[in-house]
Amino acid sequence: MSAADARTLALARQLMTHAHERLALDFAIELWDGSRIADDRDSDGLRLVIADAGVLPSLIRRPKLDTLIRLYAAGRLDISGGTLFDLAERRPKVKTKKLLKSLDPKLLLKAGLGLAAKPGAPADIGKGEGVAAHSGSSKSDIEHHYDVSNAFYELFLDTEMLYTCAYFPRWDATLEEAQIAKIDHVCRKLRLEPGDRVLDMGCGWGAFSCHAARNYGVTVHGVTLSEQQYLYGRDKVARLGLDGRVRIEHGSYEDVEGSFDKIAAIGLFEHIGFVNHETYFRKVHGLLRERGLFLHHAITRRGKRTDKAFHRKRPEYRSLVRYIFPGGEVDYIGNTARMFEAFGFEVHDIEALREHYALTTRIWAERLMANRDAAIAEVGPERYRLWVAYLIGVSLGFTRGTIGLFQTLVSKRNRGASGLPPTRADIYADRPDHE
């Protein structure tokens, strides 16, 4: 090791020792030479690994979430002896700004000047800074997220390939059990009856469409913008012998024509964008027959005192849009309910499923990490690590309540009786058998 490298390492060790003590960190730190800080206090081996000398100056000069994501995606920051879930549990329970203010500014300046910067993570791991400038997902945005490859999604989704919040009848249910329970929960809220014509907006890989047709005697028209999902869903329909009962179409919900007794949009609304909300509500209203039912299942953010405050995007949100969900925008439940009423619907039921999605995304993350080698072979190390960070970050967001999820059941507003039963007992009773 050269004298310059030895000085760099000594400075990094001094800075990390100071940070560990001031922040009272409950995990060890490993530097690029293999040396560890506070390893004797760490009983279970959890360590934050700094892989090269350029990591610290990058963080000092640009202490942003985006910097952390890029360093993690490139493998320059890593976790050993645990996962991001474990690290998040041990993170100091104070805000990042307060954390930074607790550190010695002279030492930070010295480290920022004395540690040599290294090249950053490759620039093509996201879709670019400008991706959030438009509102609503385009076809290319959908492809960026969903057309990674069906094989990749198979590594962490359930056997039916459902990429939306599961519904756990009990917290120890398997993901497979919870996803089927979710489909049945939606079918029962829609009160599907034999002969109903159903529209599945944003049908994904066809799980809801096929299950509803097989178990409730309905015919279903599913539509998706993702070519990979369309091809998979089309083949599934043929494999299950559902031709004539289920039709999967590659295209936009905006181009669908006809009249439907029941409509479901499970996980579509996040892709619509605020400037397209009016189109969405008008289109659903036009497609739904009189007294027809619509089930709207969507991720939300917490409402703020003003819309201006709500639309101010936090760093976590900007990173999500840049790297994983280009074009994505998330509403708050109060505005969603207002828009339904404004566009001719009657709201009958709003159910919060936040904790269900926290568990769903945690299971997805754990399954993906368990299939690490296969995932890297399929999409490469950077994209694999981005997805791990994304799924864990989203799970933590649902756990902490910064994001939520609601199912909203509405019908076309009618001056007379809605036609719905007087209670919800039929929805929550034990699931009836279906032929």
* Tens digit of each residue's pLDDT (9 = 90 or more) over 368-378: 999 999 999 99
**Which region among 44-53, 317-326, 342-351 has the lowest average model confidence (pLDDT)?**
317-326
Indicate whether 132 belongs to any domain: no
Residue 159 has pLDDT above 90, yes or no: yes
**Which region among 119-133, 279-293, 345-359, 420-434 has the lowest average model confidence (pLDDT)?**
119-133
* Domain stop point among 86, 121, 156: 121
The C-alpha atoms of residue 186 and residue 272 are separated, in whole angstroms, by 21
Indicate whether 81 belongs to any domain: yes
Indicate whether 133 belongs to any domain: no
Same domain, 222 and 356: yes
* Tens digit of each residue's pLDDT (9 = 90 or more) over 102-118: 778 888 777 766 675 55
Beta-strand relationship, 36-37 and 47-50: unpaired
Indicate whether 126 belongs to any domain: no
Same domain, 8 and 154: no
Residue 201 has pLDDT above 70, yes or no: yes
Same domain, 58 and 182: no
CA 202 to chain centre: 16
* Domain stop point among 89, 121, 153: 121
Domain encompassing residue 62: 3-121
Same domain, 191 and 297: yes
Q: How far, CA to CA in Å, does 190 sit from each of 193, 199, 232, 420?
A: 9, 11, 25, 10
The C-alpha atoms of residue 32 and residue 118 are separated, in whole angstroms, by 13
* Tens digit of each residue's pLDDT (9 = 90 or more) over 129-158: 433 444 555 555 545 455 578 999 999 999
Q: How far, CA to CA in Å, does 400 sit from each of 89, 113, 357, 393, 407?
A: 11, 37, 12, 11, 19
Cα angle vertex 141, ends 135, 147, to 5°? 155
**Pick the residue with more confidence: 139 or 29?**
29
Same domain, 107 and 158: no
Indicate whether 134 belongs to any domain: no
Indicate whether 131 belongs to any domain: no
Same domain, 64 and 149: no
Per-chain mean pLDDT for the chain: 87
Which whole number is the average pLDDT over 198-220? 98
Percent of the chain exceeding pLDDT 70 equals 85
For residue 178, the model assigns a pLDDT of 98
The C-alpha atoms of residue 308 and residue 427 are separated, in whole angstroms, by 38
* Tens digit of each residue's pLDDT (9 = 90 or more) over 46-65: 999 999 998 988 888 888 88
Residue 319 has pLDDT above 70, yes or no: no
H or E segment and range at residue 30: strand 28-30
Whether the CB-CB separation of 179 and 166 falls below 8 Å is answered with yes
**Which region among 77-81, 195-199, 241-245, 326-330 has the lowest average model confidence (pLDDT)?**
326-330
Same domain, 32 and 113: yes
Which whole number is the average pLDDT over 319-340? 82
Same domain, 149 and 117: no
What DSSP string describes 262-318?
EEEEES-GGGT-GGGHHHHHHHHHHHEEEEEEEEEEEEEE---SSHHHHTS--HHHH
429 pLDDT band (50/70/90 cuts)? confident
Same domain, 418 and 276: yes
Same domain, 323 and 193: yes
The C-alpha atoms of residue 377 and residue 432 are separated, in whole angstroms, by 43
Whether the CB-CB separation of 137 and 273 falls below 8 Å is answered with yes
Paired strand residues for 333:
none
Same domain, 106 and 176: no
* Domain stop point among 121, 147, 175: 121
166 pLDDT band (50/70/90 cuts)? very high
The C-alpha atoms of residue 46 and residue 144 are separated, in whole angstroms, by 33
Indicate whether 433 belongs to any domain: no
Residue 1 has pLDDT above 90, yes or no: no
With a threshold of 0.85, does the pTM exceed it? yes
Indicate whether 19 belongs to any domain: yes
Same domain, 209 and 283: yes
For residue 312, the model assigns a pLDDT of 85
**Structural domain tally of the chain?**
2
* Tens digit of each residue's pLDDT (9 = 90 or more) over 214-266: 999 999 999 999 999 999 999 999 999 999 999 999 999 999 999 999 999 99
